[in-house]
């Protein structure tokens, strides 16, 4: 009898989890990336499932003003690791999250890496508080076990003239959980 009640409760909770009010949320605590490993705190980002694509709430600080490439990367690590064969800050995060193996960087509205997000715009004080939309990202729970990376430069959403949007070095990183 009590087993039946427990099973019934689980069924109710399962239904509740499928409603918009209980939509999934995942987040990453972000740290500056350095050649010796993760450094000081730089804020957090939160991904929420919404109709029309995930909403990404950005709460960052201590970053250089201007535009910065911002992506989901493959691995849940912000340690030093190889980038183009040489040890680099946050290199252990690996390449852009690309579950369909497109091999292409095409930005948030393109058909390349699923991890290609809208670029960040950091204000003159080094802070960024904005909400971005990632139209192709649904089911944000799938982002657990990956990471977010912020690059030194902006992002032209293409592999030309420079690969991966041209953002270059990794300046901050957080594991998504
Ligand atoms: Cu990236």
Per residue in 84-111, pLDDT tens?
Answer: 999 999 999 999 999 999 999 999 999 9
Task: Give the Å distance between the CA of 51 and the centre of ligand 1.
Answer: 25
pLDDT of residue 9: 47
Q: Does the structure show a pLDDT above 80 at 20?
A: no
Task: Give the Å distance between the CA of 67 and the centre of ligand 1.
Answer: 13
Peptide bond into 161 cis (omega under 30): yes
Per residue in 153-176, pLDDT tens?
Answer: 999 999 999 999 999 999 999 999
- The domain spans of the chain are 23-175
Better-predicted residue by pLDDT, 14 or 89: 89
Sign of CA dihedral 69, 73, 79, 82: negative
What would you measure as the largest C-alpha separation in the chain, in angstroms? 67
Q: Across residues 54-67, what is the average pLDDT?
A: 98
Task: Give the Å distance between the CA of 50 and the centre of ligand 1.
Answer: 23
CA distance 138 to 153: 27
**Cα-Cα end-to-end distance for the chain:** 37
Q: What are 43's two structure tokens?
A: 């804020």
Q: What are 56's two structure tokens?
A: 């990404």
Is residue 150 a contact partner of residue 170, using CB atoms and an 8 Å limit?
A: yes
Task: Give the Å distance between the CA of 23 and the centre of ligand 1.
Answer: 26
Q: Across residues 107-117, what is the average pLDDT?
A: 98
* Top-level class of domain 23-175: mainly beta
pLDDT > 90: what percent of the chain? 87
At 10, the pLDDT band (50, 70, 90 cuts) reads very low
β-strand partners of 45: 28, 58
Q: What are 3's two structure tokens?
A: 């087993």
Q: Across residues 44-68, what is the average pLDDT?
A: 97
Task: Give the Å distance between the CA of 128 and the centre of ligand 1.
Answer: 18
């Amino acid at each position: 009898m009590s087993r039946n009640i427990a099973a019934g409760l689980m069924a109710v909770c399962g239904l509740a989890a499928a409603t918009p009010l209980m939509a999934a949320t995942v987040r990453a605590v972000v740290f500056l990336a350095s050649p010796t490993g993760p450094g000081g705190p730089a804020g957090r980002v939160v991904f929420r499932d919404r109709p029309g694509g995930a909403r990404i709430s950005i709460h960052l600080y201590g970053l250089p003003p201007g535009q910065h490439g911002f992506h989901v990367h493959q691995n849940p690590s912000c340690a030093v690791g190889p980038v183009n064969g040489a040890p680099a800050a946050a290199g252990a995060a690996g390449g852009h999250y690309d579950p369909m193996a497109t091999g292409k960087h095409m930005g948030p509205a393109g058909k390349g890496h699923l991890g290609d997000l809208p670029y960040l715009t950091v204000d003159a004080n080094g802070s960024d508080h904005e909400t971005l939309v990632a139209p192709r990202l649904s089911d944000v729970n799938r982002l657990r076990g990956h990471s977010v990376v912020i690059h030194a430069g902006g992002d032209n959403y293409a592999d030309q003239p420079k690969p991966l949007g041209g953002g270059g070095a990794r300046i901050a990183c957080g594991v998504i959980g």
